[in-house]
């Protein structure tokens, strides 16, 4: 799971760690996730907007492209507080399996998608 918001990462790790046998690894940046692809994840949950402070940092789309170059079959779920139809369509076009809006129910939606994808 990749998000620059530590609170979101802690929440997701708390909810999913050990559930259904899941092992969760969290990263605060796209770079850290890419550097740890040797862990061979079954699925990646990726924030659309990453590190708005550092102009050189990878954003969600750039990270998605790199992840899929390394493993074209890797399911990647995008989370975003700023999802509109254009950005959703663009992320799907570039290989995201799903784009979920960070609303009041995103954890439930994410859990359903993960269960469908991984069992």
Measured distance CA(85)–CA(118) in Å, rounded: 26
Q: Give pLDDT, residue 87.
A: 85
Give the closest residue to 35 by CA, choosing from 43, 44, 27. 27
Q: Give pLDDT, residue 96.
A: 97
Q: Give the domains, in start order, of the chain with CATH numbers.
A: 6-118 (3.40.50.2300)
Quick one: three-class SS letters along 20-85? Answer: HHCCCCCECCHHHHHHCHHHCCCCEEEECCCCCCCCCCCCHHHHHHHHHHHCCCCCEEEEECCCCH
Q: Give pLDDT, residue 53.
A: 67
Q: Give pLDDT, residue 52.
A: 64
Q: Give pLDDT, residue 30.
A: 95
- pLDDT tens across the length of the chain (119 residues): 999 999 999 999 999 998 888 999 999 999 999 999 999 999 999 999 887 667 788 999 999 999 999 999 999 999 998 777 888 899 999 999 999 999 999 999 999 999 999 87
Measured distance CA(22)–CA(16) in Å, rounded: 7
Measured distance CA(40)–CA(37) in Å, rounded: 6
């Amino acid at each position: 799971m990749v998000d620059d918001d530590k609170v979101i990462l802690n929440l997701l790790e708390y909810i999913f760690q050990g559930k259904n046998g899941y092992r969760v690894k969290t990263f605060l940046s796209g770079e850290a996730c890419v550097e740890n692809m040797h862990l061979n994840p079954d699925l990646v949950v990726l924030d659309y907007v990453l590190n708005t402070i550092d102009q050189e940092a990878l954003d969600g789309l750039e990270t998605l492209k790199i992840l899929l170059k390394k493993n074209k079959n890797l399911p990647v779920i995008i989370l975003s507080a700023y999802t509109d139809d254009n950005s959703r369509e663009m992320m799907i076009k570039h290989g995201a399996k799903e784009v979920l809006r960070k609303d009041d129910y995103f954890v439930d939606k994410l859990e359903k998608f993960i269960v469908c994808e991984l069992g």
